[in-house]
Amino acid sequence: MEPVAQGQANHQGVQARVDGLLRLGTIFSIIWLMGIGSTIAVVAGVKARRLILDSEGTVYGMGRAWWCLAVGTLGLVLWVPIVIVGILNNL
């Protein structure tokens, strides 16, 4: 019975880590913070997606990982050019 309990505890630990990453990613995907929040969302989405894929289907959250990646990327596409133009105009 020991390996099952240990495996279940490991699964719960990975799920908790994925949930934390996706919570952070979702918040920062909505609050773009001039590209910084979007970058955090993309990184959190990539890390969560990797953990989900490595779990071989025992950890859920792929939809929220894709949300973080998609909305974070959209934020980067919108904010990075604006920030670059703003910096270049002030030089």
Q: Total domain count for the chain? A: 1
pLDDT at 1 over 50: no
pLDDT at 10 over 90: no
Q: Which residues contact 21 (CB under 8 A, 6 or more apart)?
A: 44, 45, 47, 48, 51
List the single range of 8-12, 65-69, 76-80 with lowest mean pLDDT: 8-12
Give the pTM. Answer: 0.83
Task: Supply the range of the domain harboring residue 10.
Answer: 2-89
Taking the C-alpha atoms of residue 19 and residue 12, their distance in angstroms, rounded to an integer, is 10
Alpha carbon separation from 85 to 32, 36, 76, 79, 82 (Å, rounded): 18, 16, 14, 10, 5
